[in-house]
Every structure is written in structure tokens, then in C-alpha cells.
Amino acid sequence: MPEPAHAFDFWIGTWEARWSGDHVGRSRVSTILDDRVVLEQFDGRPGTPLEGMSVSTWDQNAGVWRQTWVDNQGSYLDFAGGPVDGRFELVRSAEVEGRPVRQRMVWSEIEADAFRWQWQLAPDDDGSWRTLWEIRYARIAG
């Protein structure tokens, strides 16, 4: 198990992202700022018009990873979390249609050249997670 500040290193690289059959996008993940920040640049085209980016960093004082996501649809999302039972999870509290919810991203089935990513939602008063979007990532050589 890598030390906490390197727990997200598996994500670094260039990835093909596939979801819902034949939808394909691309994600480029690198480190910046003296390798202290993980920068993701996601391009969902042509599968979806969604383009976005995130910055993630290990918050040593809080003992968690923090991520901020922004995109071309005006979203701003902030998450916290880290490794959990062989997965990597980032979670946030939010409001959807006037109701409190929890939102979660889960990286699982992590291998050197592939992983599964899920976007999940749970009512705030119940722990049952529902997957809303699942992407299979495969590393692109180069």
C-alpha cells in the first residue's frame, strides 16, 4: 500500500474512457506543483459534450485527499476521501432537487492499465448508494 500522499498515483497517465456501450472520451492525469497536486483533464467528446478538470491533493493536516472539479457546464464540486478496502473513494454532501444527498466517486478494480470509475448518489438519511454513471478506463500507451 503506498503512503497516503501517493495513494492516487495509480491514476496518473493518459486514459481512454468508455461508458454506455460505444461512448468514448479521454482523460489525461498528471502531477503539478512539485508533484503535490494531481491534475485531471477530462474530454468526454465525442461521447458527451462534457469537458472538465480536477485538482486533487493530499491534505496532511486532515488526513484526507481533497478534490475540486470544474467543467464546461458550470459545475463546481468539492470532495474528500481516500483509499477504502482496495478502492479509492471521494465523497461530498450536496443538495439535489431540494433534498440533501451524498455524492461519491469510486475508483475500483484498479490494475496497472485499467480501472472502473463510478459516480454514485445516496439520500442523506440512508446509506444505499445508487450508481448513476460508470466508466471503464484503459491506459493509452505513450
pLDDT per position as a tens digit, 104-138? 999 999 999 999 999 999 987 677 999 999 999 99
Three-state SS at 80: strand
* CATH top class, domain 4-139: mainly beta
- Predicted pLDDT at 2: 64
Which 3-state string (H, E, C) describes 119-132? Answer: EEEEECCCCCCEEE
In the numeric block, which cell numbers belong to residue 30? 498528471
DSSP one-letter string for 3-48: -GGGTTGGG-EEEEEEETTTEEEEEEEEEETTTTEEEEEEE-TTT-
* pLDDT mean over 81-102: 94
Tell me how crowded residue 115 is: count the other CB atoms within 10 A of its CB.
Answer: 21
pLDDT per position as a tens digit, 18-48? 998 789 999 999 999 999 999 999 999 988 8
